[in-house]
Structures are given as structure tokens and as C-alpha cells.
Amino acid sequence: MKFFIITLGCKVNQYESQGILEKLYAANCTKSDSIKCADVIIINSCTVTAESDKKVKKLLHKIRKMNRSAIIVLVGCMPQAFPKKTVSIEADIILGNSNKNDILKYISDFIKSKNKIIAINDIEKYSKFEDLKITNFNERTRAFLKIEDGCNRFCSYCIIPYARGRVRSKPIEEILLETQNLVKNGYKEIVLVGINLSAYGIDLSLNLCDAIETICSVNGVKRVRLGSLEPEYMDEKVIKRLSRQQKLCPQFHLSLQSGCDETLRRMSRHYNSEDYFKIVKNLRSSFRNAAITTDVMVGFAGESDEEFEKSLSFVKKVGFSKVHVFSYSVREGTRAATFKNQVKSCVKKMRSKIMINETKKDRIEFLKSQVGTIEPVLYESHSKNGVFEGYTPNYTPIKLISNLDLCSQIIPTEITEAKSDYCVGRIVGQFNLKQT
């Protein structure tokens, strides 16, 4: 049986698709090079915005036209968040977020019965961490390792708690074993991911520090990097404990959403701008050359001109290394969808443009601040013209030209020049590496 997997959305979905892929390999299935030649096509869906759902439906329709004989499987967040809408979805097998582990069973059942299968558990009552594991990661240099699922926060604009359920954490002994297997397969950098990564361990009487310390203890792990973090658990005690781990990369994607306290309250965020700024200061004082990146939403329901200016002012005050700016979009099923004073699209576009232009300035200043430093760079890819690309511990992208094979190597590199969104480097020292 030949399969083809399409992954939409976040790093957690990417990890889970890899877990599905390894289960299919273990059952002697083979990966198809194209949709047209596949016997089974699996779409691991995202539902973070209404646009995400439209993309899934459009993709399903396209796939059916391209390959009418294939078994189409839709899994993940979209059907889980909106189970009542699954009857009309153009797929043969529809599974929620607690059924990925049994995907082979459902495919077998469909082959026997030829009847549409819908299997979506009540995720809010699901307390078990799904037993998906990986040993490789899409032939990349860095491997994502999912250690947490679910969220208890219920921000007013977010559908994800309904798609992912409550916080569930991977046991420490399983994290250790999975890390050891990834190291055996050559991975030097492990990126921890979760739906609310900061909440790791609250169901196990542990915290994120326990998971990080476990992974850092594994011989062969050179770097540990964190995925997106919510500020609520990043107190001074946690930051101090994290700072003792030499393998932990000083790059922190700390979700902000807005720098205006009034907006944050309507969003049902669990902090204010003063709390957030204190966390940033603690991170910068605890980690050398730390990079703080974030997400900023503009045009949330009720955001006035004054609130936007407060948010913009705060973002400039922090001076982020990089900012992902996006406009709020109304999401069916969330409280914010019922809020009055929705912001017009034209206003959102204008505010987004202003915020992007201002944060680009901070990005350039951050890159300039890296010039003259010597950092260990993990090189991940190269082009035909000999340009290698990699990242420093604080996730500064580096490019250089070399006739040596730098891929999957951590090489001391002097940063010599800053461009608009990356830096240029040169190798420091002599190395016994193969030529490309």
C-alpha cells in the first residue's frame, strides 16, 4: 500500500505526521512520490482560523479530482473542533485528535466495508497523552519532539482548546527514550513542541524544567530549543532553573498577542504588559545574547486607535528579535466571535502594515548586533551554488559559501555582515570535512 501525507499547521502536527509515517513504514507500507500514485492520502488538518478550514475543504476536493480511487483520510484539529460538520466532508475516513495512533486499523476497516468512517472522541474528556513516537524527523537536521498536548486557557479568540482538549503531558521516561532514539539517528538539536508547551507537567506534578533537564542529560544532544511559549508559567524561579542548562538555546518565542492591557483582558490572556516585560527582562539577564521573538495580533474585536498605539508602543519598547504580525479573524465557536465593535478589514490591514514596518526595524537592529560575534552554527542545508544555511543558538540565520560539506555540522562561525533577514558568516578554525 502506497501512502501520501499532507501536513497543515503547526509543529505539533508535523511531529504527529511523522509518527503516522513511522507507523505506516512499520506495517510495510511505502511512501508515494505523488498524490496521483497513492493508495491512501492522509491530510493532517489545522483549524486555527476559518481560512484554515476553507483550505482543507479545497484541498480535499482537489485530491479527489486528482485520484478518484484513493482512500482519503482526514485527521486532526478540523474534524475534532467541528464534529457535526464532518458528515458532508469529502473524505472516506475522518478521525479526531485522539485516533491517529489507530489509523491503520481504520484504513483496514474501510477496505473491508467500503463504508465511510467517522471516529471522533470527546477530546475534552480525554486524559491520556496519545502514544505516538518518532525515531526520525523528515530527513532534517533538527527533530521536533512533542511533549505536551492540550490547553486549559480558553483565550476568547481561540478554538484550539476545543480541538485539542485539556493539558496532557508525555511521561519523563518516554521523553528520555525518544530522545535517545533520535540521537542514535544523528539528530544534534531537539526542538520541544506542544500546544501549550509552558504548561508541561501540570498534570504530572512536574514542570517544563524537568523535561528540559532530562533531554539535556542525554549524551549526543548538542542543543535543546523550545517551541512557542505562553508567559503564564515563565516566572523568575523557572527562568533561573532553565539558565543552568548549557545546552538550552537562548531563543524564546514568547507569545504576546497585544501590548495593550485592555485588549489583553478582552482576549482573556493571563498576564498584562508589565508581567510580560518582567519576563523578558529576566530572560535577557539570565541568558547571554538571548533572542526574544513573538506573535502580535492587530485588529482584535474592540481594538481602538488608542489601544493599537499602546500595543505598538509596547512592542517597540521590548525590541523583539523578530515578530510575526497577523490580523484577527473571527473564529466560529469562540466567545470573541460574538463581541461587538469588530474592526473593519481596511483598518486591520493598515494597522498590520504599520506594525510590520516598525518590527522590521527591530529585526534589522538585532541582526546588526550579532555582527562581530563568534557563534556555533548548526548548518542544515545548502544550494547548488555552494551557499550553506544554518542557525546560531539564538536562531540567527547564517549564510556562507564553502566548498566543504557543512551539513549537519556545528561549526564556529564569525558573523561578518547583517542583511535584511539573515547574517553572513565565515568559518573560524580548521576542520576535517569532506568537500562538496
Give residue-wise pLDDT tens across range 107-133: 999 999 999 999 998 887 777 888 899
Q: What is the distance of C-alpha 347 from the center of its chain?
A: 28
Q: Is residue 137 part of a domain?
A: no
Query: Are 234 and 294 in contact, with CB atoms under 8 Å apart?
Result: no
What mean pLDDT comes out for the span 302-325?
A: 98
Share of the chain above pLDDT 70, in %: 98
Confidence check: pLDDT of 436 > 70: no
Residues 282 and 400 in one domain: no
Residue 86: predicted pLDDT: 86
Confidence check: pLDDT of 58 > 80: yes
* Inter-CA distances, 181 with 13, 188, 191, 219, 321, Å: 20, 12, 14, 11, 33
Residues 159 and 262 in one domain: yes
What mean pLDDT comes out for the span 311-325?
A: 98
Residues 279 and 389 in one domain: no
Q: Is residue 22 part of a domain?
A: yes
Give residue-wise pLDDT tens across range 181-236: 999 999 999 999 999 999 999 999 999 999 999 999 999 999 999 999 999 899 99
Residue 141: predicted pLDDT: 84
Q: The domain spanning residue 385 has which CATH number?
A: 2.40.50
Confidence check: pLDDT of 435 > 70: no
Confidence check: pLDDT of 164 > 70: yes
Residues 179 and 196 in one domain: yes
Residue 138: predicted pLDDT: 78
Q: How far apart are the first and last CA of the chain?
A: 37
**Average pLDDT across the chain, whole number:** 95
Residue 434: predicted pLDDT: 66
Residues 265 and 406 in one domain: no
Q: Residue 245: which pLDDT band, with cuts at 50, 70 and 90?
A: very high
Q: Residue 421: which pLDDT band, with cuts at 50, 70 and 90?
A: very high
Q: Is residue 227 part of a domain?
A: yes
Grid coordinates given for 41: 492520502
Q: Is residue 287 part of a domain?
A: yes
Q: Is residue 134 part of a domain?
A: no
368, 369, 371, 375: CA torsion to nearest 10: -130
Q: Is residue 163 part of a domain?
A: yes
Residue 124: predicted pLDDT: 79
Confidence check: pLDDT of 332 > 90: yes
Residues 391 and 361 in one domain: no
Q: Residue 383: which pLDDT band, with cuts at 50, 70 and 90?
A: confident
* More reliable by pLDDT, 367 or 101: 367
Residues 322 and 409 in one domain: no
What mean pLDDT comes out for the span 90-105?
A: 94
Residues 169 and 234 in one domain: yes
Q: The domain spanning residue 362 has which CATH number?
A: 3.80.30.20
Count of beta carbons in the 10 Å neighbourhood of residue 418: 19
Confidence check: pLDDT of 294 > 80: yes
Residues 198 and 172 in one domain: yes
Q: The domain spanning residue 52 has which CATH number?
A: 3.40.50.12160
In the chain, how many domains are there?
A: 3
Residues 181 and 265 in one domain: yes
Confidence check: pLDDT of 43 > 90: yes
End position of a domain, from candidates 324, 352, 368: 368
Q: Residue 317: which pLDDT band, with cuts at 50, 70 and 90?
A: very high
Q: Is residue 131 part of a domain?
A: no
Residues 330 and 381 in one domain: no
The whole domain housing 421 covers 374-427
Residue 246: predicted pLDDT: 97
End position of a domain, from candidates 352, 368, 384: 368
Q: Is residue 435 part of a domain?
A: no
Query: Are 377 and 394 in contact, with CB atoms under 8 Å apart?
Result: no
Share of the chain above pLDDT 90, in %: 89
Residues 303 and 184 in one domain: yes
Q: Residue 382: which pLDDT band, with cuts at 50, 70 and 90?
A: confident
